[in-house]
Structures are given as structure tokens and as C-alpha cells.
Amino acid sequence: MFSEEQERLKEQILQLKKEKDAVIFAHYYTRPEIQDIADFIGDSLALAQQATRVRANILIMCGVHFMGETMKILCPEKKVLVPDMAAGCSLADSCRAEDLAAFKAEHPDHMVVSYVNTTAEVKALTDVVVTSSNAKKIIDQLPAEQKIIFGPDYNLGSYINSVTGRNMLLWNGACHVHSRFSLEALLQLKKKYPGVKVLAHPECKAPILAQSDVIGSTKALLDYAIGSEEKQFIIATESGILHEMQKACPEKTFIPVPPEITEGVGCSCNECEYMRMNTLEKVYACLRDEQPEMIVNKETAAKAISSIERMLRMS
Ligand code: 13P
Ligand code: SF4
């Protein structure tokens, strides 16, 4: 499945990783070959939790920028490396700290709950961070009368409003991958595979979620596929997760929902191009040169850490 060059690079990375006592973390949406060389693969919550538990001094975060930033904030004394600093996130980009600060000022009686897909500056303005794994659990622990601003993902926010009965004020941000799944294609798949369960990430739009049987984080969807007796699943999330699903359940079939085809808007696949910026070549160079290194402004990190630690305590 992998080229000779890829296999050679994998060997070199594993050797260098051992020599330098480095630990590689990868998100489920990264390329299969990156997941294969990782020590830990996880969703955003698991990666943040795991980072606080390892003893190694060099941590490599194969994911997107905000994941490396979160890791550095949680482990300030460690060297956190990211293979490509330009691997961003359209969702994090949809909420600028100055805009959130202005919105907060207009609603002084609201607390701010932010999705982990945000910059360190946004986390510094946040009372508690959540991920798709723990958002419901954390919101449920807040007093019923507490007014809440939730951002930046509008789809996740409305889903959490619907399952908690809250009326959080929602930021109008979205992930360009998850908001693009085609309802028409999903309905056709459901017709073609009657009775097959649909597993969706809560960043998908409401009409997609309304057609889904299981809604959860990447890890929750994976766990469901592993634990279920069923043999086929329709998947509405970034296609990188299929690698781990297929590896864990070789006898099962995973059918990805395609995105809407929009002329001139990125690619017409359900891949996050930012996650795919992590390549074996870049991981090797990053291990060898010990850069690019994630640096977070100390003042920002000092403010952001309380909202992240509060999330870890409430998870
Ligand atoms: P998870 O929290 O499920 O890992 O999702 C992160 C993400 O970026 C989804 O697009
Ligand atoms: Fe961000 Fe969407 Fe990529 Fe997740 S899939 S990292 S939310 S752009």
C-alpha cells in the first residue's frame, strides 16, 4: 500500500524518534502513513489529555495549528514540534479574538464556552473550552440559569442546544469540510443501503445530523463502529478516520458520505487539506531539525490555560 520511499522514511522516523526519545501524536484525520508512525492517535480531547501524561521532552503534534498550541500551553516546559506551521483550521479562522472580545463586551452577563478548534488568543478570552467529546457533559454541569456564548462552530452549538435544552448564543463559524456534506448524497446512500446506520460528527449541518443515528466525536464514532454488531456504516466526517476504523474492524465496511460539489471551492473530497499537510517528509525533517517549534506568547498562554484545565477537570 505504501511506496518504498514511504517505507524507508517510516523506518528513519522510527529510528530518529527512538534516538531523540520523542513522542509522535496524530489526529485521526491525518494521512494513513502518519497514523501508522504515531505513538498516540486520538481525537482533540484524547490528544490534549495524553500530552499531559507523557514524560518525553520532544512532542510532535501531527494535526493542525491549534492542536500544537493547546499541547504547548499544557506542556510549556516541553519542546512541541509541528511538521507544518501553515496547517491551520477554517473553523478556528472563523473566530478572531478581537471580534469575540467585542461580542463579549456586548453580552457582559454571558460566560464564554469555546470549542477547542480556536486560537490561543480566543482561549484566553474563554471561561471553559470543550471538544466534541465532552461538550454536552460540560454544558450540563453549568448552572441552568447561566447565560452562555458558544463558539465558533454553529452546527455543534445548535446540536448541543438541542440535546441540553439550552439557548446558548451561537457564533456563526463552520468547518469547511463538515459543512459541505451533501444531504442529497446521504439520502441516496440511505436508500441504497437500507437499515445501515449513519455515523456523523456534530460539526455537520443540522439536516445531515437529523438523518444520522450516531452523533459524536471522531473517537466516539470509532468506538461505536468497533462495539457494534453491525457490519456496514455510512460515515459523515473527514475520511481520515476510515483508516483507523478499517484497521480496527477489517471485516466491516465504511461508506463515506461525499461532499456537495461547489464550483471553485477547494477540492470536492471529504478531506481536510490542513490535516493532510502532515507528510512523512515533513515529520522526518521536523524530528531531524527539531523545528518548526510551537511557541505561544507567555501572557496569552497564562490566560488560556485556565479554560483548558477547567475543561480537563470537567471532562
Ligand atoms: P474531534 O474533537 O472529534 O477530534 O474533532 C476535531 C476536528 O477538528 C473536527 O473537525
Ligand atoms: Fe478544522 Fe475542519 Fe480541518 Fe477539523 S476538519 S481541523 S475543523 S478545518
Using alpha carbons only, give the angle 42, 45, 49 rounded to the nearest 5 degrees. Answer: 90
Whose CA is closest to 40, among 57, 21, 59?
Answer: 59
Residue nearest to atom 1 of ligand 2 (CA): 89
* Spatial CA neighbour of 252 closest among 239, 233, 236, 237: 233
Distance between CA atoms of residues 43 and 22, nearest Å = 20
pLDDT of residue 2: 83
Say if residues 161 and 153 touch (Cβ distance below 8 Å).
Answer: no
What is the Å distance from ligand 1's center to 4 Cα?
31
Atom 5 in ligand 2: which residue has the minimum CA distance?
272
Q: Report how many helices (DSSP H) and strands (DSSP E) the chain contains, helices first.
A: 15, 12
User: Which domains are seen in the chain, by residue range?
Assistant: 4-87+276-296 (3.40.50.10800), 91-175+299-314 (3.40.50.10800), 178-271 (3.40.50.10800)
Residue 91 CB less than 6 A away from ligand 2: yes
Tens-place pLDDT, residues 74-98: 999 999 999 999 999 999 999 999 9
| pLDDT of res. 196 | 98
pTM of this structure: 0.93
From the CA of 219, give the closest atom in ligand 1: 3
Task: Calculate ∠ Cα 202-157-222, nearest 5°.
Answer: 20
**Ligand 2 atom index nearest CA of 66:** 6
Q: Is any atom of ligand 2 closer than 6 Å to the C-beta of 119?
A: no
- Output the nine-digit C-alpha cell for 270: 471529504
Residue 310 has pLDDT above 80, yes or no: yes
- Render pLDDT for 266-307 as a digit per residue (tens, 0 to 9): 455 689 999 999 999 999 999 999 999 999 999 999 999 999
Residue whose Cα lies nearest atom 6 of ligand 2: it is: 89
- Is the CB of residue 238 below 6 angstroms from any atom belonging to ligand 2? yes
- Cβ atoms < 10 Å from Cβ of 147: 14
Per the CB < 8 A criterion, the answer to whether 168 and 149 are in contact is: yes
Cα of 159 vs centre of ligand 1, distance in Å, is: 15
Binding-site residues, ligand 1, Cβ < 6 A:
43-44, 117, 131-132, 175, 203, 217-218
Cβ 156 vs Cβ 222: under 8 Å: no
Q: What is d(CA 177, CA 46) in angstroms, rounded to the nearest whole number?
A: 21
